Amino acid sequence: MNTSTPNPVNFAQSQTIHSILTGQVIDGASLETFWYELTHGAYGQVQKAKGVFTLVDGRVLQLDFVAGLPKDSLETIPETITTELPLPPCTKGRPDHFSGLEIIGFNLDRAGIAQTLEDSCLDDQALAYYQAQIQEQIQAQIQQ
């Protein structure tokens, strides 16, 4: 029988990253890839992460991650809880509601996180293109 206890995490040595993303829009595939990489060690040892992101389809998602949440009584896995926030969809222009990211962990790659987020957010031309498609879909549904 193993009676040893795991070493406690020393939060005094942890790092915290805050990133405000208000006005930014991200596509779902890029967010999925970024979040997977973030929570699986690509940017350092993440203990907790919380983000509010506006997707290109206008939905706003809140992602909450805590390392080692219990999956069941036998194992622990990194777990993310995804919640769609009850906000009106933003399908015209840039959103003005809050969005952002907070990460707590160790040996975090600030530059890598910042660059990946920058690369994942849509520029004005791409945003206008996708939002025009969404508006066409909405109009087609209304006419049916």
Question: The domain spanning residue 55 has which CATH number?
Answer: 3.30.1220.10
pLDDT per residue as tens digits for the range 6-23: 445 565 689 999 999 999
Number of domains in the chain: 1
Higher pLDDT, 102 or 5: 102
Whether residue 21 lies inside any domain: the answer is yes
Mean pLDDT, the chain, rounded, equals: 87
Residue 77: its pLDDT value, please?
Answer: 55
Whether residue 42 lies inside any domain: the answer is yes
Q: Which has the closest alpha carbon to 17: 130, 122, 113?
A: 113
Whether residue 9 lies inside any domain: the answer is no
Whether residue 97 lies inside any domain: the answer is yes
Q: Which domain holds residue 56?
A: 14-143
Q: Which has the closest alpha carbon to 95: 19, 17, 30, 20?
A: 20
The amino acid present at 52, given as its one-letter code, is V
The amino acid present at 56, given as its one-letter code, is V
DSSP for 34-73, written as a single string: HHHHHHTTBTBEEEEEEEEEEBTTS-EEEEEEETT-BSSS
Angle at 22 between CA 93 and CA 122, to 5 degrees: 55
pLDDT per residue as tens digits for the range 88-111: 988 889 999 999 999 999 999 999
Q: Map tokens 């999956």 to a residue.
A: 71
- Over residues 112-138, the mean pLDDT reads 93
Whether residue 1 lies inside any domain: the answer is no
Residue 2: its pLDDT value, please?
Answer: 42
Q: Say how far apart CA 43 and CA 142 lie, in whole Å.
A: 44
* Cβ contact 100:18 at 8 Å: yes
Higher pLDDT, 116 or 68: 116
Assess whether pLDDT exceeds 50 at residue 54. yes
Residue 3: its pLDDT value, please?
Answer: 40
Whether residue 91 lies inside any domain: the answer is yes
pLDDT per residue as tens digits for the range 57-82: 999 999 999 987 665 555 555 589 99
Whether residue 2 lies inside any domain: the answer is no
Q: Which has the closest alpha carbon to 33: 107, 119, 104?
A: 119
Contacts of 50 by beta carbon, 8 Å cutoff, 6+ apart: 62, 63, 64, 65, 101, 102
